[in-house]
Amino acid sequence: MAVVYHDEDARLEAIQGQTIAILGYGNQGSAQAQNLRDSGLAVIVGNIDDSYRREAVAAGFEVVSIAEAAARAQVLFLLTPDEVMPEVYERAVAPHLQPGDLLNFAHGYNIGFGLIVPPDFVDVVMIAPRMIGAGVRDSYRSGEGFPSFVGVHQDATGRAKERLLALARALGSTRAGCLEMSLKDEATLDLFSEQAFGPAFGRIMLTAIDTLVEAGYPPEAVLMELYLSGELAYSFLKMRELGALRQHELHSHTSQYGTMSRSLRYFDLDPLLKQKMQESLEEIRSGAFAKEWSSDREGKLEFIKRAREIQRSLPMTRWEDETRRVFRIGDAAEGMKPR
C-alpha cells in the first residue's frame, strides 16, 4: 500500500529560519514562491534577466542571479525546464552547495536518469505537484490544496524527510495528500502518461473524428460532441471525484447500456495496445528515451517545430478554430465578446 502524507505528518518548524531559493520563476516557480511566502517562509528568486524576472520583481520578491540565489539559500527549488537544468545546475548551482543544503526537484527526470548527480553532503528530495502552476496557486488560496508525488533520494542530514514534508505543507500539498515514491518512478509514470496513454488516447479520438466526418457528419458537430462541449472534461472530473467506473452511473440508462455492451467489441485491441505500451515503458525505464532526448537537442527542437507546423495545417485544426469561434470557446472567441 502506498504511503500518503497529510498536514498532521508535517511540521513547518523543520524548515523555518532557512532561506529558500526558487530557481526559475516560471509557471510552477511563481506559484510555489508565493505559496511558500504566504506560509511565512523566507523566499528569494534566482532567474535570468527576462520577463519572468520582471514578474517576480512585480510580485515583491528579491530577485538575483541563479548563482547568487544558490549561494545564499539553504533550500533550493530547481524549477528550470528539464532540458536546461543539468547545464544550469553544473554552472550556477553545484559550485555553491554547502553541507546540509537541500535540493528539491519538481520532477524526478534529471535525478532518476542520472543527468544530475549531487554531492553526497546535500539532501535531495522531490515535490512533484500533480497540478499545473496556476492550480497550485489557486488551490492553496482556496484551502483545498493539491496532490503531489514526494520522495527522498538522498538523506545527508538525517532530516531530509522531515524537511521535505515541511516544504510540502508550506506549499499546500499535504492538505490534499502527498504520495511517496522514488524520483525515477515519478519520472517514469509521468513520461508513460505522455508517451503511451496520451498518444493512444489521441489516436482513438482522431480515428473517431475521421470515421464520423467520412460518414458525412459536420466536423463542427463531431468535435462538439466528442470534446469541445466540455462534457468529456466534466466526465473526467467526475472520474476523479467518484471513480472511473462509478461515474457511469451519472449517465442515462441508454448511455450505460450502450457503453457496457459495446465495449466488448474493442477487447481484441488489448494485445496490440499492451504491446505498444510495454515498448514505451521499456524505452523509458531503460533510460533509452532520456539518452535520445539528451542527444542532438537542436535536432529534437527542430522536430517539435516541424510537427507543430504539420498539426496546424491539418483540417482538424481548422475545424477546431471555427467551432471554438462560433461557440465562443476560449481564445478563439475574444474577437466576438461584447466590449
* Whether 163 and 284 share a structural domain: no
Of the residues 259, 275, 295, the one at which a domain ends: 295
Q: pLDDT tens digits, residue range 280-323?
A: 999 999 999 999 999 988 899 999 999 999 999 999 999 999 99
Share of the chain above pLDDT 70, in %: 98
* Whether 204 and 250 share a structural domain: yes
Residue 335: predicted pLDDT: 41
Is 251 among the residues known to form the active site?
A: no
For 156, 200, 208, 275, 278, the CA distances from 203, given in Å and listed in that order, are 46, 5, 9, 16, 17
Q: pLDDT tens digits, residue range 122-133?
A: 999 999 999 999
Confidence of residue 67 (pLDDT cuts 50, 70, 90): very high
Q: pLDDT tens digits, residue range 37-53?
A: 999 999 999 999 999 99
pTM assigned to the model: 0.91
* Whether 161 and 31 share a structural domain: yes
User: Cell for 41?
Assistant: 517562509
Q: Is the pLDDT of residue 70 over 50?
A: yes
What distance in Å separates the CA atoms of residue 32 and residue 172, rounded to the nearest whole number?
Answer: 9
Buried b (16+ CB within 10 A) or exposed e, 174-205: bbbbbbbbbbbebbbbbbbeebbeeeeeeeee
Within a domain: 309: no
* Whether 202 and 249 share a structural domain: yes
* Whether 220 and 259 share a structural domain: yes
Residue 1: predicted pLDDT: 80
Residue 330: predicted pLDDT: 85
Confidence of residue 332 (pLDDT cuts 50, 70, 90): low
H or E stretch at 19 = strand 19-23
Of the residues 181, 208, 227, the one at which a domain ends: 181
* Whether 194 and 177 share a structural domain: no
Q: Is the pLDDT of residue 338 over 90?
A: no
Catalytic annotation, pick one of 96, 107, 251, 253: 107
Domain count, the chain: 2
Calculate mean pLDDT across residues 184-199. 98
User: Cell for 263?
Assistant: 465495449
Q: pLDDT tens digits, residue range 5-62?
A: 999 999 999 999 999 999 999 999 999 999 999 999 999 999 999 999 999 999 999 9
Q: Which domain holds residue 127?
A: 4-181
